[in-house]
Amino acid sequence: MTARSLLLCCGAFVALGAASVTATSATTTTVPAIDNAAPAFPGSVREVSELIVEADETLRFKGPVEFRVAGEVRIDGMIVVDGVELSGRPNLTIRALGPITVSKGATLQTLSHGPGAHGGAIRLFSPATIDLHGALVPSAGNAGRTVGQHGGDGGSIEIEAPIIRTSLERIEASSGGLGAAAGNGGDGGSVRTAGAILWQGDENLLTTTLVAGHGADGGDGSASATTVELRSGGNAGDGGDAEADDWRLPDWLDELAFIEDEDAVRRLSSDTLDGERGGPGQPGKPGEHGAHAISGHGGNGGQGLDALPLVNTDGEYAGVLPAGTGGNGGHAGFARGARGGAGGSGGSTTSLDNANPMFGMPGGRGGDGGAGGSARSGNGGDGGLGGRYPDLEILPAHLRGRTAHDGHGGHGAQAMGGHGGHGGHAGHGFGQAASGGAGGCGGVSIVGTSGLSGEERRNAERAAAARDRRPANPGHDGHNGHEGRSFGERPAN
């Protein structure tokens, strides 16, 4: 089904304008301007046999839309989902039984409107393959505007297929929106993949990087407010997670189709990362490198306002506007890099594996294992400072010089680098044994640090000393791949 035929089934047909795309490099594209002349249809669940959007076509939807596709999906143009309600998320979901292709120059985009609106997620699911070369642009959370209004959460990205091929340097979620006065900041969007990621971009980059969104700052207390709640700083949003995981059978698939051999599909996904076996006497191919992951930072908590004594027209004490508490800092997101693939076995030259043995020739060297993807978690945000009561005799004794509660600092998060792939075994051969492949390096883990609490900030400011950030919950380094073993044969006497 093309975009035009999809519009026909919706009860309308309009000529769609072209959306120009400018290529900037082999792996990046600029996002084209949205074709405002394209018709916008209400979002809903749409079941179609196939979904084809040509390069000169734009599909626009008002509100969330989910495509359930029985066959192929190919996006060469644009799909734009435009959010219209504060409570609604402009999500774009494509669930296909066949392969999904987002071509270079194509764009999948969500738009958010209104103060405090959440960003829109983009989700792609297939039990076959996903080829991802176009732009994914999830909208960011919008900032709050009125007193106490929270910022919206950032838009996330989910990609799930046994085999995911991409040339994108970064697959990036969006950040949360700032809290208004006394409002909480929005959480950063997460990026999650499930499946073997095969790099098809610049050979110097080796792999792609998953980048989560940052949590937003909480708003400071409102000077016009009279309650503790609204004079207090808002809590900050948490950073988004970035996780590269193995493929798993999605729950929704049972609704549309049945996979007879789930284990076979899982093995296919896993084996795709591994290098191929070499031909007779030839070295094995190296394993694929794992994708990198960078999680989001937590935002900083808002500041509580100082207390404000009130006097009447006669200059007498008439109460006090309370001091606000400091908002808590946001926690950092979790990061997990993808594992590297195993190196392929070297090719054998003996009669054990060949009808025409290559006498006197050694077996091929085993291929090197792929490096595990690195993982870097964000930092926790700082807690906001609580407001103070002045040390004035006009105030009740129990309030004089008192400080409202400071916000807690956000925790740093774990980072788990991907495991390096095993080196490939050497092929059987004659004479001196060939060497096994080198094991891939485990992914580097860079652990985020905890944010400072308001009290720690206050003490640091008093001492005029550098902040002492301490790591929390250190992540485990990825394991190095095992060296391949040699199986060379001695020549007969």
pLDDT for 314-355, tens place per residue?
888 889 999 999 999 999 999 999 989 888 888 887 777 666
Low-confidence stretches of the chain (pLDDT beneath 50)? 1, 3-29, 256, 465-493
Nearest Cα to Cα of residue 445 among 414, 472, 477? 477
The tokens for 386 are 């609580």
For 216-305, where are the E strands, in sequence order? 242-245, 292-294
Amino acid at 68: R
Mind listing the pLDDT tens digit for each residue in 413-422? Answer: 888 888 888 8
pTM to 2 decimals? 0.81
Q: What's residue 328's pLDDT?
A: 96
- Give the span between the Cα atoms of 451 and 407, in whole angstroms: 10
- Give the span between the Cα atoms of 382 and 453, in whole angstroms: 6
DSSP type of residue 368: P
Neighbours of 85 (CB within 10 A): 12
Q: What's residue 154's pLDDT?
A: 94
